[in-house]
Amino acid sequence: MHTSLTRIAAVLIASTMLAGVAQAETVRWARSSDSLTLDPHSQNQGVTHTFAHHIYETLMWRDTEGNLIPRLATEWYVKEGDPTVWVFKLREGVKFHDGADFTAEDVVFSLDRARSEGSNLKQLHAEVAEVRAVDDYTVEVQMVGPSPLYPNNVTNTFIMDKTWSEANNVEDVQDFAAGESNYAVLNTNGTGPYELTSREVDVKSVLTVFDEWWGEAPEVTEIVYLPIADNATRVAALLSGDVDIVQDVPVQDIERLKNSDGFKVETGPENRVIYFGYRFGEEPLKSSNVTDSNPFNDPLVREAMELALDRDAIQQVVMRGNSIPTGVATPPFVNGWTEELDQYPAPDVERAKELLAEAGYPDGFSVTLDTPNNRYVNDEAISTAFVGMLGQIGIDVTLASRPIAEHSPIILGDETDFYLLGWGVPTFDSAYIFNDLVHTKTDTHGTYNVGGYSNPELDEKIISLGTETDLEARDATIAEIWEVVKADRVLLPVHNQTLAYAMREDITLPVHPENQPNMTTVVFAE
């Protein structure tokens, strides 16, 4: 057995001894990767947010139906007489894990930190001009103009204790891409239902219930969180009773687990699109044998790549039916999605070859594709399939597969020519996609515009969405932007991801559209 698998096995055995299979209050939760960091504003990444939601809290969040519901804020509304100000009324009597009271000053500190230069969430707060405390339980957010959808942007902006942060010198956000660390990377102090008891990165983290949490006491009183990258090991751990819930079920195991006595599988669509991206610009690619130009900068090449992509084959063979092929880089949950945008061309290898020849690459070219191998459902297998499809039209692709913890710095450091990524949309609005993936990279926008696409005319339209109060006009602008994004093939979407959670049959954990299950929602059969 490999050393890493031996280590995982030892952790599982230790967890079983500590928790006991019959001890219903403990849930051993396994998924394919770990949180990248515990600094709440360092990474805008789904696994990281999911883990953090158990420790820290947001002003509001979404239930399993996708509805915006109160959390640390009990009310939010536009200030009477001033449409540029959002008012948040805060929950009283809330405590941080160290016993400190939660007040408006913590919200002001946290929103300012989240919109600071080093934050990976700053684009969500780009229209914020100032955050101010009116009293201990009222916060006003001054926008640069009317911003009717701003509350949708704060569902992953976690609230920190200002005093604790200052005492531990974490006023500034961790620079993850540069490999920086700070006290908040491994230590926490939130208001959430669980406290961090121990953490061994990429191996095991333990959370215990916070007895002074303001919400209804959860049935799960201890969480043993186990990142297990290997699919077979993760499923075997469930079947052997060493874990209770597997969040990332491999597609090839769904039916087997459904038919295994003592277990059940919950499935549902996720608000996430899986896509390929590539580098724009005249500068030659770093990983290509073409040294005098960038093939991806030619729209004929991008069209050829789309005609090589057989989305239906990936759905049927790679995903075993567990995906929804798409022609646009947004899931159906999101405002701006239409059936027309969702259409995609049938693969046409011969036409793709002709387009490459027209572009000046009759013999194709070479390039490296960077892919994660433990973040999205069958991510490496999707990339492997596309490598084969591109090979049919003469594009020779070298696959570089890495764990998400190694893939993310490459993405954020703009060190890739060609990559696979997934994008969830917690705001349920297209502006979130445009702000991060399409807008020219600036201090406040384009954080995940890895390919460096730039269209000043689109940038103006994207910025206008933040303060447009006429929702019909806003939707028309969204449609105009999508028309250009799709025509330019800014991104090459593959499919919308579907989810499967497997668990013991006496546990119920519903699938969350943001793939952010919370152990406070677990119910045990009596």
The string of pLDDT tens digits covering residues 170-203 is 999 999 988 999 999 999 999 999 999 999 999 9
Tell me whether residue 378 is in a domain: yes
For residue 330, the 8-state DSSP code is S
Q: Are residues 336 and 382 in the same domain?
A: yes
d(CA 71, CA 169): 27
Q: Which residue has the tokens 């011969």?
A: 350
- Bridge partners of 279, per DSSP, are none
Query: What integer pLDDT is reported at residue 17 of this predicted model?
Result: 40
Phi, psi for 58 (deg, rounded to 5): -115, 170
> Domain total for the chain?
2
Q: CA-CA distance, 436 to 446, in Å (whole number)?
A: 4
Same-domain pairing of 199 and 285: no
Contact 191, 93 (CB under 8 A): no
238-293 residue pLDDT tens: 999 999 999 999 999 999 999 999 999 999 999 999 999 999 999 999 999 999 99
Same domain, 171 and 299: no
The total number of residues written for the chain in this structure:
526
Residues 52, 192: Cα–Cα separation, whole Å: 9
Query: Is there a single domain that holds both residue 516 and residue 484?
Result: no
**Tokens 């509805």 -> residue:** 67
Asked if residue 423 and residue 317 are part of one domain, the reply reads yes
Question: Could you tell me the pLDDT band of residue 82, with boundaries at 50, 70 and 90?
Answer: very high
Contact predicate 294/284, CB 8 Å: yes
Q: Can you tell me the mean pLDDT for 374-392?
A: 97
- Cα–Cα distance, 409 to 405 (Å, whole number): 7
Q: Which two tokens stand for residue 13?
A: 């055995």
Task: Compute the distance between CA of residue 50 and CA of residue 72 in angstroms, rounded to an integer.
Answer: 17
Are residues 441 and 477 part of one domain? Answer: yes
Average pLDDT over residues 295-303: 98
Task: Please report, in angstroms and rounded to a whole number, the separation of the first and last CA atoms in the chain.
Answer: 39
Residues 233 and 344 in one domain: no
What pLDDT was estimated at residue 209? Answer: 97
Mean pLDDT of the chain, nearest integer: 94
Distance set, CA 255 to CA 250, 258, 330, 500 (Å): 10, 5, 28, 11
* pLDDT tens digit sequence for 311-327: 999 999 999 999 999 99
Do 348 and 202 reside in the same domain of the chain?
Answer: no
Which residues lie closer than 8 Å to 181 by C-beta, 6 or more apart?
174
Average pLDDT on 335-346 reads: 98
Looking only at the bridges linking them, the beta strands covering 492-504 and 418-424 are unpaired
Whether residues 218 and 286 fall in one domain: no
β-strand 222-227 against 26-31: which pairing, if any? parallel
**Edge-first strand listing for the sheet containing 85-90:** 73-78, 85-90, 138-143, 128-135
* Cβ 481 vs Cβ 466: under 8 Å: no
Q: 346: domain CATH number?
A: 3.10.105.10
Q: What are phi and psi of 31, to 5 degrees?
A: -145, 175
For residue 454, being part of any structural domain is answered with: yes
Distances (CA, A) of 303 to 185, 360, 439: 42, 14, 21
Q: Looking at residue 351, what is its pLDDT?
A: 98
Distance from the Cα of residue 76 to its chain's centroid: 25
d(CA 464, CA 460): 6
Residue 403 lies in a domain: yes
Short-list 430, 441, 512, 507, CA closest to 475: 430
Note the pLDDT of residue 63: 87
pLDDT tens, position by position, 137-153: 999 999 999 999 999 99
Position 526 confidence tier, pLDDT thresholds 50, 70, 90: confident
DSSP H helical ranges for 397-506: 404-412, 430-433, 456-465, 471-488
208 phi, psi to nearest 5 deg: -120, 150
In a domain, 14, yes or no: no
- Domain range holding 180? 25-262+505-524
For residue 152, give the DSSP letter: G
**Are residues 239 and 309 both part of a single domain?**
no
CA angle 62, 64, 66 (to 5 degrees): 50
Express as a percent the part of the chain with pLDDT over 70. Answer: 95
On whether both 180 and 248 belong to a single domain, the answer is: yes
The CA-based dihedral angle spanning residues 229, 235, 241, 246, taken in that order and rounded to the nearest 10 degrees? 70
CA angle 340, 346, 347 (to 5 degrees): 140
pLDDT of residue 66: 83
Residue 388 three-state SS: helix
Do residues 247 and 31 lie in contact, with contact meaning Cβ atoms separated by under 8 Å? yes
Asked if the structure places residue 112 within a domain, the reply is yes
- Let me know if residue 229 belongs to a domain: yes
| Residue 403 in this model has a pLDDT that exceeds 90 | yes
Q: Is residue 3 part of a domain?
A: no
Both tokens of 338, joined, read 């239409």
Residue 1 lies in a domain: no
Dig out the tokens for 67 from the structure.
């509805």
**pTM of the full predicted structure?**
0.85
Can you give the three-state secondary structure of 16-52, one letter per residue? Answer: HHHHCCCCCCEEEEEECCCCCCCCCCCCCCHHHHHHH
Q: What is the pLDDT of residues 9-64, one digit of tens each?
A: 444 444 444 433 334 499 999 999 999 999 999 999 999 999 999 999 999 999 88
**Quick check: helix, strand or coil at residue 183?**
helix
Confidence category of residue 417, pLDDT binned at 50, 70, 90:
very high
Helix or strand or coil: residue 233?
Answer: helix
- Phi then psi for residue 353, to 5 deg, are -65, -40
Are 298 and 357 part of one and the same domain?
yes
Q: What is the CATH number of the domain that holds 51?
A: 3.40.190.10
